Amino acid sequence: MENESEAVLALNPVTFRYKKKLDPERVLHFGLIAEEVEKVNPDLVLRGEEGKVMTVRYEAVNAILLNEFLKEHRRVEEQRQQFETKFAQQEKQIEALTATVQKMSDQVALSKPTPQLVANP
């Protein structure tokens, strides 16, 4: 299903209303145009007795969409893990640099001569 699911990215969702004789209330529907889906992937449509495209196999489209979602989710998770690894490495580097700066500051402080008090006669 790896390459099959990429075809779904070429689909164009639409809104539509059935003719009044089919749906007197003309409710707004969301879907795909079967003829367009056929051009992208003929296996995603159902045909009538004469071989004419009748409807979209939405259950198949849903499975393909789920596959695409899972592929993208895995990709995002891999990127998140890479980011977390890099972030942890940077935190360690910052801690090491902070320790080095502190040691150097301590050494500078120790190398300065201490002021001496002189009594005036």
Domain boundaries, the chain: 4-82
- Token pair of 19 as six digits: 């003719």
101: pLDDT strictly greater than 80 = yes
| Cβ neighbours of 116 (radius 10 Å) | 5
DSSP SS3 for 21: coil
Tell the residue number behind the tokens 């790896």, with chain if given: 2
pLDDT of residue 119: 74
Q: Do the Cβ atoms of 12 and 40 come closer than 8 Å?
A: no
Neighbouring CB atoms inside 10 A of 54's CB total 12
Q: What is the pLDDT of residues 56-92, one digit of tens each?
A: 999 999 999 999 999 999 999 999 999 999 999 999 9
Torsion of CA 32, 40, 53, 71, to 10 degrees: -60
> pTM for the whole thing?
0.65
Alpha-helical runs (H) found in the chain: 34-40, 58-111
Q: How many CB atoms lie within 10 A of CB 41?
A: 19
